[in-house]
């Protein structure tokens, strides 16, 4: 089969079946968009996990002047207490991978940097954020060990593990992903059925041509390729639109409105869209080829 003849055949087929082709494009677009959102939500969760796991998992906040925690008794932490805490943390190696001290001054600096374009900065001064030991664990899931060891230690105001804070957030993300993937799954099912119907419609409207092709000895490949290519073009057009919409979503909504908030560095970006795009496109190619092959095999007499 010559390429130009195939192209002409496909073009005629698409035009003759335009409404079906358009619906394949749209349904593919919506299903891939939802699927893409689910995948991006997971990547967002992974990015944040990576971000936090690379940094601090447990913060041991120390008493400062005016701390209200009963453990402090209103007194700031003493140098002795600090030394004890420090050496106890060092003893917990290798679970404790790294410990560093953040003074009140440094805490203030970090906060100002993170929220530099928000009104929060003006309302806070040195000393409002207590000094702390920031502990990095070799196994972030075993934070409980550190928490229980220091919760009521002298000079410790509170022990905060990021895991617990982030867990809620990850749970929400997981539900969002689950929802997106379920709806996407239903839409993919719709897309599959629609592709099958489209093929049958196309085969029916070209049954004379197919009859002649079989009679003169055209190969199955020659008979089926135009149908497969038609569905493939429609599905890829849908995939391209979906990827465009995902990019727009990340670029305009995510990166523009959520920028400069706490997790600045841990946000997904257009790069993540490009990273999942090949999988979406590849998946849709596989789906279109398998669906049309199976439909033709079942529906078209050879």
Partner 1 sequence: MIRFENVTKTYPRGTRPALEDVSLEIERGQFVFLVGPSGSGKSTVLRLVIREEPTTSGSVLVAGHDLGLLPPRKVPRLRRQIGTVFQDFRLLPNKTVAQNVAFALQVLGKPNRLIRTLVPETLAVVGLEGKGRRMPHELSGGEQQRVAIARAVVNKPAVLLADEPTGNLDPATSLDIVRLLATINASGTTVLMATHDNVIVDEFRRRVVELADGRVVRDEAQGLYVPKEAPVPAPAPERDPDDLWSDPDNGDWADEIVRGEG
**How far is the C-alpha of 95 from the C-alpha of 133, rounded, in Å?**
15
**How far is the C-alpha of 148 from the C-alpha of 94, rounded, in Å?**
17
User: Residue 15 interacts with partner 1 (CB under 8 A)?
Assistant: no
Count of residues touching partner 1 (by CB under 8 A): 29
User: Residue 11 interacts with partner 1 (CB under 8 A)?
Assistant: no
**How far is the C-alpha of 21 from the C-alpha of 182, rounded, in Å?**
25
Distances (CA, A) of 280 to 38, 42, 173, 213, 248: 12, 15, 20, 35, 16
Q: Which residue has the tokens 């196994």?
A: 139
User: Residue 204 interacts with partner 1 (CB under 8 A)?
Assistant: yes
Q: Which residue has the tokens 């999988």?
A: 279
User: Residue 302 interacts with partner 1 (CB under 8 A)?
Assistant: yes
Nearer to partner 1, 176 or 300 (CB): 300
Residues in the chain: 302
Q: Tell which residue, 7, 10, 23, has the closest CA to residue 197.
A: 23
Give phi and psi for 62, each to the nearest 5: -100, 155
Pick one of 105, 207, 264, 274: the residue that binds partner 1 (CB under 8 A). Answer: 207
Q: Which of residues 219-278 bind partner 1 (CB under 8 A)?
A: 219-220, 222-223
Q: Which of residues 64-103 bind partner 1 (CB under 8 A)?
A: none
User: Residue 298 interacts with partner 1 (CB under 8 A)?
Assistant: yes
**Do 107 and 115 meet the contact criterion of CB atoms below 8 Å apart?**
no
Spell out, one character per residue from 161 to 200, where the chain touches partner 1: x when CB under 8 A holds, - when not.
---------------------------------------x
Give the nearest distance from C-beta 7 to partner 1 in angstroms: 12
User: Residue 213 interacts with partner 1 (CB under 8 A)?
Assistant: yes
Q: Tell which residue, 228, 203, 193, has the closest CA to residue 301.
A: 203
Give the nearest distance from C-beta 244 to partner 1 in angstroms: 35
Give phi and psi for 78, each to the nearest 5: -95, 165
**How far is the C-alpha of 263 from the C-alpha of 173, rounded, in Å?**
15
DSSP conformational letter for 258 = S
Q: What is the maximum span of the chain, computed from C-alpha positions, in angstroms? A: 97
Nearer to partner 1, 6 or 173 (CB): 6
Give the nearest distance from C-beta 302 to partner 1 in angstroms: 7
Give the nearest distance from C-beta 215 to partner 1 in angstroms: 6
Pick one of 120, 212, 261, 262: the residue that binds partner 1 (CB under 8 A). Answer: 212
Give the nearest distance from C-beta 220 to partner 1 in angstroms: 7
Give the nearest distance from C-beta 271 to partner 1 in angstroms: 43
User: Residue 300 interacts with partner 1 (CB under 8 A)?
Assistant: yes
Give the nearest distance from C-beta 231 to partner 1 in angstroms: 16
The SS3 assignment for 90 reads: helix
Nearer to partner 1, 68 or 215 (CB): 215
Pick one of 49, 82, 86, 214: the residue that binds partner 1 (CB under 8 A). Answer: 214
Q: Which residues pair with 161 in a beta bridge?
A: 58
User: Residue 297 interacts with partner 1 (CB under 8 A)?
Assistant: no
Tokens describing residue 124: 């806070």
Nearer to partner 1, 110 or 207 (CB): 207
**How far is the C-alpha of 112 from the C-alpha of 118, rounded, in Å?**
9
Residues that bind partner 1 in the complex, under the rule CB under 8 A: 1-2, 4-5, 200-201, 203-204, 207-220, 222-223, 298-302
């Amino acid at each position: 089969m010559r390429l130009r003849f195939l192209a002409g055949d496909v073009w005629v087929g698409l035009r003759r079946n335009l409404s079906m082709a358009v619906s394949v494009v749209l349904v593919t677009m919506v299903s891939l968009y939802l699927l893409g959102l689910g995948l991006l939500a997971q990547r967002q969760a992974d990015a944040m996990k990576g971000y936090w796991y690379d940094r601090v998992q447990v913060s041991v906040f120390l008493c400062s002047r005016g701390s209200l925690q009963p453990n402090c008794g209103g007194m700031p932490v003493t140098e002795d207490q600090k030394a004890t805490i420090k050496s106890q943390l060092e003893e917990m190696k290798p679970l404790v991978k790294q410990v560093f001290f953040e003074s009140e001054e440094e805490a203030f600096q970090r906060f100002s940097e993170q929220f530099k374009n928000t009104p929060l900065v003006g309302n806070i001064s040195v000393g409002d954020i207590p000094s702390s030991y920031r502990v990095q664990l070799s196994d972030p899931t075993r934070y409980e060990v550190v928490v229980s060891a220091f919760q009521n230690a002298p000079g410790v105001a509170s022990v905060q593990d990021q895991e617990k804070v982030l867990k809620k957030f990850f749970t929400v993300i997981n539900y969002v992903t689950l929802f997106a993937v379920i709806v996407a799954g239903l839409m993919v099912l719709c897309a599959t059925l629609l592709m099958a119907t489209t093929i049958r419609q196309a085969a029916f409207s070209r049954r004379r041509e197919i009859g002649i092709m079989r009679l003169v000895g055209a190969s199955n490949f020659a008979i089926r390729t135009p149908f497969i290519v038609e569905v493939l073009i429609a599905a890829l057009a849908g995939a391209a639109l979906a990827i465009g919409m995902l990019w727009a979503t990340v670029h305009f909504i995510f990166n523009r409105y959520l920028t400069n908030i706490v997790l600045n560095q841990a946000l997904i970006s257009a790069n993540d869209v490009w990273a999942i795009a090949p999988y979406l496109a590849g998946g849709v190619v596989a789906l279109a080829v398998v669906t049309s092959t199976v439909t033709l095999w079942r529906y078209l007499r050879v």
